[in-house]
Amino acid sequence: MKALLINRKLTSRDNNINAYIFLAPYLILFIIFILIPIVIAIILSLTNFNTLQFPNFIGFMNCVNLITQDEIFMQYVLPNTITYALIVGPGGYILSFIIAWALAQLPKAPRTILALIFYSPSITSGVAMNVLWRILFSGDQTGYINSWLIRLGIITEPIQWLTGSNYLLPIMIIVALWSSMGVGFLAILAGILNQDETLYEAAAIDGVKNRFQEVIYITIPTMKPQMLFAAVMAIVNAFQNGMIGVQLSGSNPTPGYAGQLIVNHIEDYGFIRYEMGYASAVSVVLLIFVYVFSRVSKGLFAEKDY
């Protein structure tokens, strides 16, 4: 009798109803705060919605306006975002890989300390960011960077780093790169550390000559899944940090729209002008951006053998 019961229990586990109970809390919150918002963003992007009246359907007018009428978007936001994302995304990613690869060749103690140094900038929150970079790049001659450059004789007049439009985007990129060694970096490091040593031995016999070849033919191919995870994290991070232009300059819109990224454009239209339909259209563009970038990295790193 008992054996029969166990047997029944084992077969009923082919479609275990309990699994849905385990999943329910996560799924409910996932649906309410991730899935439905994406759907609403897509629907709202097709409407004119000012938060007071019921949204009315206008089809692709928002998209058309975004491309044809919105000079700020086409002239500043889009080029800024592409420049920023292309440098911070792939750039931060490649940097993460090189550093992780170098660190993997050190013994545990120095490796742990150095990994902590590289990782810690990624956990500086908005407040620390504010304090740190706005003071270092302060525009008058008492600003740290200005003062150093003047003393070194490189410049004679203090530069308006953050409140002018010339240097804001490059500074944003530097700051973003500085804080880009996050979870993805740790994943790559762990991936390299867990590689099978015998592979390298075999490769040496097969004629792999130098470290560079080792990286290209063994290190990267054997840890593609980690590389893909890190790539997705790098992309998400780059877009998620889109607020730094506003944090650094202290104003939205940023001076001369120099640091205006797509995220700021959403906030500008959504929460400052309350044109939620239009802002949603911009959000959808952002989601498409992230998706395209992720597809590209999938193409590069997905396991193709199954």
Partner 1 sequence: MGRYRKGYINPKRFEIGQIKIILMILPLALFMLLPIVFIFSHAFKPMDELFAFPPRFFVIRPTLDNFYKLFKATTTSAIPMGRYIFNTLLVTLAVVIGSVFISTLAAFALSKLKFKGKYTLMEINNAALMFVPVAVMIPRYLIINALGLIDTYWALILPLVAMPVCLFLIKQFTDQVPDSLIEAAYIEGASDFMVYRKIVLPLIKPAVATGAILSFQQVWGDIASSSYYISNETLRTLPFYMNTLTSANNTIAGQGMAAAAGLIMFVPNLLLFIILQSNVMNTMAHSGLK
Residues 8-37 that bind partner 1 (CB under 8 A): 9-10, 13-20, 22-23, 25-27, 29-30, 32-34, 36-37
Q: Does 296 bind partner 1 (CB under 8 A)?
A: no
Q: Does 72 bind partner 1 (CB under 8 A)?
A: no
Q: How far is the CB of 51 from partner 1 (least distance, A)?
A: 8
Distance CA 159, CA 248 (A): 15
Among 120, 166, 216, 273, binds partner 1 (CB under 8 A): 120
Q: Does 41 bind partner 1 (CB under 8 A)?
A: yes
- In 3-state terms, what secondary structure has residue 57? strand
Q: Does 200 bind partner 1 (CB under 8 A)?
A: yes
Residue whose pair of structure tokens reads 């997705």 in the numeric block? 232
CA distances from 292 to 52, 135, 149, 179, 236 (A): 34, 36, 41, 23, 12
Which positions ≥6 away from 155 have C-beta within 8 Å? 146, 149
Q: What is the residue-wise DSSP string for 130-185?
A: HHHHHHHT-SSTTSHHHHHHHHTTS-SS---TTTSSSSHHHHHHHHHHHT--SHHH
Alpha-helical segments (H) within the chain: 2-12, 18-30, 36-44, 61-68, 71-72, 78-86, 92-103, 108-119, 126-136, 144-151, 168-178, 183-193, 197-205, 211-214, 220-222, 224-240, 244-249, 262-267, 276-301
Among 89, 92, 143, 245, binds partner 1 (CB under 8 A): 143
Q: Does 60 bind partner 1 (CB under 8 A)?
A: no
Q: Does 281 bind partner 1 (CB under 8 A)?
A: no
Q: Does 104 bind partner 1 (CB under 8 A)?
A: yes
Residue whose pair of structure tokens reads 């191919």 in the numeric block? 221
Q: Does 86 bind partner 1 (CB under 8 A)?
A: no
Q: How far is the CB of 57 from partner 1 (least distance, A)?
A: 17
The helix (H) or strand (E) run that includes residue 48 is: strand 47-48
* Cα-Cα-Cα-Cα dihedral sign, residues 179, 114, 293, 191: negative
Phi, psi (deg, nearest 5) at residue 235: -65, -50
Q: How far is the CB of 236 from partner 1 (least distance, A)?
A: 6
Q: Does 57 bind partner 1 (CB under 8 A)?
A: no
Choose between 182 and 257: whose C-beta lies nearer to partner 1: 182
Among 169, 173, 258, 276, binds partner 1 (CB under 8 A): 276
CA neighbours closer than 13 Å in the CB half-sphere of residue 216: 6
Q: Does 117 bind partner 1 (CB under 8 A)?
A: yes
Q: Does 64 bind partner 1 (CB under 8 A)?
A: no
Could you say which residues in the range 168-187 bind partner 1, by CB under 8 A? Answer: 178, 181, 183, 186-187
Beta bridge partners of 47: 57
Q: Does 234 bind partner 1 (CB under 8 A)?
A: no
> By CB under 8 A, which span of 56-64, 82-90, 125-133, 164-172 interacts with partner 1?
125-133
Choose between 258 and 279: whose C-beta lies nearer to partner 1: 279
Among 4, 54, 157, 303, binds partner 1 (CB under 8 A): 303
Contact string (CB under 8 A) for partner 1, positions 202-221, x = contact: -xxx-xxxx-----------
Contact string (CB under 8 A) for partner 1, positions 244-273, x = contact: ------x------------x--xx--xx--
